Structure 1
Amino acid sequence: MPELVTAHAAADPCDVVTAGEAMALFIAREAGPLDAVHAFERATAGAELNVAVGLARLGWRVRYLSALGNDSLGRHLLAFMAQEGIDPRDVRIDADHPTGFMMKGATTDGSDPPIEYFRRGSAASHLQATDIPPGVFPAARLLHLTGISPALSAGCREMVFALAAQARAAGRTVTFDPNLRPRLWPSQDAMIATLNELASLADVVLPGLAEGRLLTGRADAAGIADFYLAGGARHVVVKLGPQGAYYAGPEGRGTVPGVAVVNVVDTVGAGDGFAVGVLSGLLDGLPLDAAAARGNAIGARVVQFRGDCEGLPTRAQLAAEGPS
Structure 2
Amino acid sequence: MPVDRAPRTIAARIPGGFRPRAALALAWCALVPLSGAASLSAQERQREHTWSGPPILTLIAGTRAMGLGGAFWTGGNADHAVFHHPALISGQGFDLSLGGIFSRKGDGDRQRDRDAERDRGPDDAIQLALSASGSWLGGNVAVGLAVFDYGGDIDIQRERGRSNGGASRPTAAGAISWGATEFVGTVAYRRTLFGFGAGAAGKVVGWTVGGARARTVAVDVGVSRTFWQLTTALTVQNLGPDLEMGGRDVPLSRRVVLGAGTQRRAPVGPLDIGGAIQIAREYGGDIVPGGGVEVAYWPVVRRVFIARIGVVRVVEGEGAPVTFGAGFEGDRVRLDYGYRDRGPMTGPHQIGISIR
Larger strand percent: 2
The TM-score normalised by the length of structure 1 is: 0.32
TM-score, with length taken from structure 2: 0.30
Between structures 1 and 2, the one with greater helix share: 1
Q: Which has the higher contact order (CA 8 A, sep 6+)?
A: 2
- Name the larger-Rg structure: 2
